[in-house]
C-alpha cells in the first residue's frame, strides 16, 4: 500500500513540476521541458549510482547514510531559491508559490 501511495504522489509531483515549468516560461516550452527531463534523468542516474555503491560497499547502514546525504544535497537548490525570493533570508512559507506564474 505504501508503494502505491508513493507512486501516486510521485506522479502528481511530475505533473505539477511540468506545469510550473511551462507556466514560468511559456515562450520557451521546449527548452524548459528538455532541461527538466535532462535534470531528472541525471538525478535518477546519480542517485542510483550513489545508493547502489553505498549498498555494495557498506551494506544497509551506509546505504541509509547515503540516502540521507542525497536528500540533504537535493534540498540545496530549493534553499537557494527561497533565499533569493525572500530577500536573503531562509524564510519560506506555504502561502508563497515556489515559482510564480505570471
pLDDT in tens, 8-43: 887 787 777 777 777 777 788 788 888 888 888 888
Task: State mean pLDDT over 39-56.
Answer: 86
- Grid cell at residue 46: 546519480
d(CA 21, CA 50): 27
pTM value is 0.51
Q: Counting every residue, how long is the chain?
A: 102
HSE on the CB side for 70, CA within 13 Å? 18
What does the pLDDT read at residue 94?
47
HSE on the CB side for 7, CA within 13 Å? 4
d(CA 41, CA 78): 18
Amino acid at each position: 500500500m505504501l508503494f502505491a501511495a508513493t507512486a501516486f504522489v510521485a506522479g502528481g509531483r511530475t505533473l505539477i513540476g511540468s506545469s510550473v515549468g511551462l507556466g514560468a516560461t511559456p515562450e520557451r516550452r521546449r527548452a524548459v521541458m528538455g532541461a527538466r527531463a535532462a535534470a531528472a534523468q541525471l538525478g535518477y542516474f546519480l542517485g542510483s549510482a550513489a545508493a547502489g555503491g553505498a549498498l555494495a560497499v557498506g551494506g544497509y547502514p551506509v546505504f541509509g547514510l547515503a540516502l540521507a546525504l542525497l536528500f540533504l544535497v537535493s534540498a540545496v537548490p530549493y534553499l537557494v531559491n527561497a533565499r533569493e525570493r525572500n530577500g536573503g533570508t531562509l524564510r519560506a512559507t506555504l502561502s508563497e508559490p515556489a515559482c510564480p506564474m505570471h
